[in-house]
Structure 1
Amino acid sequence: MNKHIKKALPLLVGKHLELLFFFNKQKALVQAFTFFCTPRKGRVLPEQEHFLEEAFDDILHIEDLKIQSYSWPNHNKETILLVHGWESNTYRWKPLIELLHAQGYTILSLDAPAHGYSSGKQFNIPLYAACMDLIIQKHKPTYIIGHSIGGMTTLYSQYKFSYPFIQKIIALAPPSELQGLLSHFQNTLKLSDKFIKELDTYFKREFGFFSHEFSIANYVKDIDTPGLLIHDAYDDITPYSEALKISKSWKGVSFITTQNYGHSLFFEEVNEMILHFLKNKHSHNSNT
């Protein structure tokens, strides 16, 4: 797509929503909510198929959705669940899967709704957490690793369900505040404060909470599970300030700040940090 068209498209969508809001508020809110929850990419690409086909696969059913899950069994009793982020899929974990599997860990993963091979057209965190719950209750993993929205969902999931068998959680570049995601949506589409206020009320009806009430920094206060939080100081997707909020509230966290590793954190050094944390018998607060 031409970069000028790509840049103008969100503004055109925003203008359409504002105009529709004037004539039919409910229809505008439904369209805005749908746009907010719909990924534009993240399905499995042809070059990703071979690696995923090597795994044992299992289809999980929730509501009317079919959720694709994967497993790479091993001799180790310790099992790791990997939770990808927005507009991604299980393939994003390929280097880490290969590293951890070689160390003897059994690996589990799933494609989020509307991502990878899973069905559906929309994504939201409570639904993702419910999908995670299916695989967690079935396999009872020892550790969970989540990236970006996957990290956010992982921490929300542990707050909501308090799995006693989860020994460690690793969160890579997770957002903390849903309100921040909604503000980014507003700024991208140039929506009015009045529109966003009504959309926030729509969120309340759909999920049972306003955006400002969904805060990982608050949720982790009730999480006793030891964790590792890795966030790049120059992350241009999820602000570093989000990690600072989480690290100050999560009493059992080791916090590592990287430099120029970006939001994806696709570096061998990061994978080695993860492996070291998993093998380390002791967890303590740190900031490097």
Structure 2
Amino acid sequence: MGLKKGIRFITLKSVGQYINFLSYVRPQKAVELSYALFSQPRIGRLYKESLPEILKNTETETFHHNEHYFQTYTWKGNETKILLVHGWESNASRWQKTLPHLQKSGSTIIAIDAPAHGQSSGKEFNVPLYAEFINKAVEKYQPTIIIGHSIGGAACVYHQYLFPNTSINKMVILGAPSDLKTLIDNYVSMLSLNTKMFSLLENRFLSHFNFRIEDFSGQKFASKFNVSGFIAHDTSDDVVAFEEGKKIASSWKNSQFIETKGLGHGMHDDELYEKVIDFLFKDSELLSS
């Protein structure tokens, strides 16, 4: 364990001990703190003055949704539209390596910034809100294809479950978690939180989002899908376990599962992208170049 990792490990453990202590004396405070740690990204913000090159020459649009706003970036092409949905502590620029592959198809490509990421508003990230952002963008742009990475993939799956009848007919899900319970369990064990904290967190999700942690499952959601899906996950993913991708694919009737090796969580790979393009366009006349 390197020094930096070691220090982070120690701080996580001591933060966990502090939260466990609070759970007895000030449970409400303990929940707020543990939920904030779980839901507030530390990196991934973007500033208009210093946008990454890849986002500079795009058409941008800011959407307002209740008290929130979110940002989209468009690379103009033909009528076929692809919506890109990034993951945790990231932003729309994470698609830099993906873009050239998708642009070969001539499609119009739109990338979105998640809640509390990129140029979107807020401090807190959560999947239900992300799904609402996605829905506003889908209504506006009418994409036929959606591609999600990591928790962005989970948000795409949840969006499809909530809004089954949109313009979307093909989905690509890369390195995505299936079950919220897996994420919470990982978080709880990372901080060594006590069982009391687990049930306090469980109640927090129930009261704020109106679902039980174990009901929030990509595997369950995907069992209702009619759209066709391409799910890929890497065996060496150390952020989201390989099993999670398999879970999502297992109940999705019209889907294919691709196992990759050695790509890690990022999933950037020319060969994989060729397979994605094949899945998206092989039956169409769009690639008649």
- TM-score, structure 1 length as denominator? 0.93
* Correspondences of 1:1-288 after superposition (within 5 Å): 2-44=4-46, 49-74=52-77, 76-281=78-283
Q: Report the RMSD for the aligned CA atoms in angstroms.
A: 1.6
Q: Tell me the distance in 1 between the aligned counterparts of 2:152 and 2:5.
A: 28
Q: Tell me the distance in 2 between the aligned counterparts of 1:66 and 1:177.
A: 27
Query: Residue 48 of structure 1: CA displacement?
Result: 5.3
Query: Residue 204 of structure 1: CA displacement?
Result: 0.4
* Bigger mean CA deviation after superposition, 126-135 or 41-50: 41-50
Matched letter for residue 276 of structure 2? I
SS class of match (2:87): coil
SS class of match (1:95): coil
SS class of match (1:184): helix
SS class of match (1:130): helix
Q: Tell me the distance in 2 between the aligned counterparts of 1:20 and 1:86.
A: 27
Query: Residue 164 of structure 1: CA displacement?
Result: 3.7
Q: Percent identity?
A: 36
* Bigger mean CA deviation after superposition, 111-120 or 177-186: 111-120
SS class of match (2:246): helix
Query: Residue 47 of structure 1: CA displacement?
Result: 7.7
Matched letter for residue 68 of structure 2? L
What are structure 1's unaligned runs of at least 5 residues?
Answer: 283-288
- The total of aligned residue pairs comes to 281
1:135–1:11 Cα change, 3 Å? same
SS class of match (1:67): strand
Matched letter for residue 198 of structure 2? I
Q: Tell me the distance in 1 between the aligned counterparts of 2:6 and 2:260.
A: 33
- TM-score, structure 2 length as denominator? 0.93
SS class of match (2:94): helix
